[in-house]
Each structure stands twice: as structure tokens, then as C-alpha cells.
């Protein structure tokens, strides 16, 4: 049990540090689980989704005031109402595809080899987006057009392949559609709120029978550690991206994906 708690602690750190940056938290969690021997049953796979709620609560705590503003303003402020509708439009494609393809995704796409290849490919995409001489038309996430919100949501669907990265797909999509780095990254935070909450609720419903008291303790440890580490990332990520771009995350993906392929090839 002590060893499992240590693993839960490590996985919580990995989740919190990677959820909101474009490196694929699910991909990292599954690889860590693979090499720590913590994914031998269905609960091991489900654990990766359940502890995401710690990260989403960290995000909600930081954005609470702004969330409250949009909630209050929804009925009296056209701009607030438009933004809320935009977030829901972005969420819709992933909600539909995720509900329809949930079992296929977990049974087929949660594949270590695929994760490593998509980590490397995603790193190449981030390096490419950094080299483009884009001329942003939008510098605030709240000012995107409604069609733009929807198409960003379509881009997010690609991240259902572990290793792609939800935030990475969202950020790249937003930038190609006219957002600057900061607003694209911040909108990935807004879109994470319904997306991650929905994934958590759906997976909890699908896996509630596996939740013994021992499993609940492991989830609690991962949850708390994920909350703390994600809080730190959310507070620092936007400023870093605005100043330095995505090269650090791109090369991290390439290194992790390459090491993963080597480890898998050696049968580790």
C-alpha cells in the first residue's frame, strides 16, 4: 500500500505539471504508469482521468472571480453571454465524440507506442507553429468569433488520441485561426473547465464499481498533489508562453517520446 501511495503521489505531480501545458498529461501519465507497473488493471487506466479533477479545481480556484463575473453577467451582459456560448460551442464536439467513442478510445488508443509517436509528432507541430510569421487578429480569448470557438473545439477532438495534448491541439488551432499566443493559451484554460469536468464525471460513472476504499485513498493523494502542482503551472504558464513560445515544450515532447520508444523497444 505504501508503494502504491508513492506511485499515486508521483502520478499526481505528473498530472498537475502537464495538464495545462501542451505536452499531453494523459500521454505522460500512461507512460509513467507503464514504466512504474501501475497500469495492470482497469483502475490503473481510470486513475489517470480521475486525478484530473484536482487540476481542474486548481484552475477553477484561480479563475473563480472571472467565472463568477460571467455567471452573473450571463443574463444582463451580451459580451459575457456570447463568451459563455462560445465556450459551450467549443466543448460540444469533444462532448459528442467522447461520449460515442469512449470505449474505443480507452480500448484501442491507449497504446504506449502510439503515445510515443504522437508525442514526437506533436513536438514537431509546436516547433512549426513557432516558426510561422502569424499576424494575430485576436488578443483576448473573450473576443473570438462564434465560428472560431466551434472550430477550436473541433481541433480539440484530435486530442482524444493520447499523446496529442488537449491544450496543444486547442492552442495550435486557435493560433491558426487568428489568436495570439497568450489568448490561445488562455482559451485552452477556459475550454479545459467543461471538458475536464465532463470527462471526470463520465469516467467516474463508468468506473464507480472499481472504487474500493483503498482506491479512493490513492485517488485522494493524487488529487491533492495534482491540485498543488497544477495551481503553480496555471499561475506561470501564460507569461512564459507569451515571452518564450513553445520550443521548450516541443523538445520535451520529442525527448520523452524518443525515450519511450527506446524503452518499449528494449521491452522495459
**Predicted structure pTM score:** 0.90
pLDDT of 1 > 70? The answer is: no
The whole-number pLDDT of residue 110 equals 84
The whole-number pLDDT of residue 44 equals 62
The whole-number pLDDT of residue 237 equals 95
The whole-number pLDDT of residue 167 equals 94
Strand, helix or coil for residue 23: coil
The whole-number pLDDT of residue 181 equals 94
**Confidence grade of residue 41 (pLDDT, cut at 50, 70, 90):** low
The whole-number pLDDT of residue 102 equals 77
Strand, helix or coil for residue 179: strand
Which range among 110-114, 120-124, 167-171, 248-252 shows the weakest confidence by mean pLDDT? 110-114
pLDDT of 214 > 60? The answer is: no
Q: Can you state the percent helix, strand and coil of the chain, rounding each to 5?
A: 80, 0, 15
82-133 pLDDT, tens digit each? 999 999 999 999 999 988 887 788 788 888 999 999 999 999 999 999 999 8
Q: Which residues contact 257 (CB under 8 A, 6 or more apart)?
A: 115, 116, 117, 118, 119, 120, 123, 163
**Confidence grade of residue 208 (pLDDT, cut at 50, 70, 90):** low
Give the residue among 49, 12, 19 at the shortest CA–CA distance from 201.
49
47 versus 163: the higher-pLDDT residue is 163
61-73 pLDDT, tens digit each? 999 999 999 989 8
Amino acid at each position: 500500500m505504501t508503494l502504491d501511495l508513492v506511485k499515486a503521489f508521483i502520478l499526481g505531480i505528473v498530472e498537475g505539471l502537464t495538464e495545462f501545458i501542451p505536452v499531453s498529461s494523459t500521454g505522460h501519465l500512461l507512460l509513467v504508469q507503464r514504466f512504474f507497473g501501475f497500469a495492470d488493471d482497469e483502475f490503473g487506466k481510470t486513475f489517470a482521468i480521475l486525478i484530473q479533477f484536482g487540476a481542474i479545481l486548481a484552475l477553477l480556484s484561480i479563475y473563480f472571480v472571472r467565472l463568477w463575473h460571467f455567471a452573473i453577467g450571463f443574463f444582463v451582459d451580451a459580451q459575457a453571454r456570447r463568451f459563455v456560448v462560445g465556450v459551450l460551442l467549443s466543448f460540444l464536439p469533444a462532448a459528442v465524440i467522447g461520449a460515442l467513442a469512449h470505449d474505443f478510445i480507452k480500448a484501442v488508443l491507449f497504446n504506449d507506442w502510439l503515445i510515443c509517436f504522437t508525442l514526437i509528432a506533436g513536438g514537431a507541430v509546436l516547433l512549426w507553429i513557432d516558426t510561422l510569421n502569424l499576424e494575430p487578429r485576436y488578443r483576448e480569448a473573450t473576443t473570438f468569433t462564434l465560428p472560431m470557438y466551434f472550430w477550436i473545439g473541433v481541433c480539440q477532438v484530435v486530442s482524444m488520441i493520447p499523446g496529442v495534448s488537449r491544450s496543444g491541439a486547442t492552442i495550435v488551432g486557435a493560433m491558426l485561426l487568428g489568436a495570439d499566443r497568450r489568448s490561445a493559451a488562455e482559451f485552452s484554460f477556459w475550454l479545459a473547465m467543461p471538458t475536464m469536468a465532463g470527462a471526470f464525471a463520465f469516467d467516474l460513472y463508468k468506473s464507480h464499481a472499481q472504487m474500493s476504499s483503498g482506491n479512493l485513498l490513492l485517488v485522494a493523494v493524487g488529487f491533492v498533489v495534482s491540485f498543488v502542482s497544477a495551481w503553480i503551472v496555471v499561475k506561470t504558464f501564460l507569461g512564459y508562453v507569451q515571452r518564450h513560445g513553445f520550443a521548450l515544450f516541443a523538445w520535451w515532447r520529442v525527448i520523452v517520446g524518443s525515450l519511450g520508444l527506446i524503452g518499449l523497444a528494449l521491452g522495459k
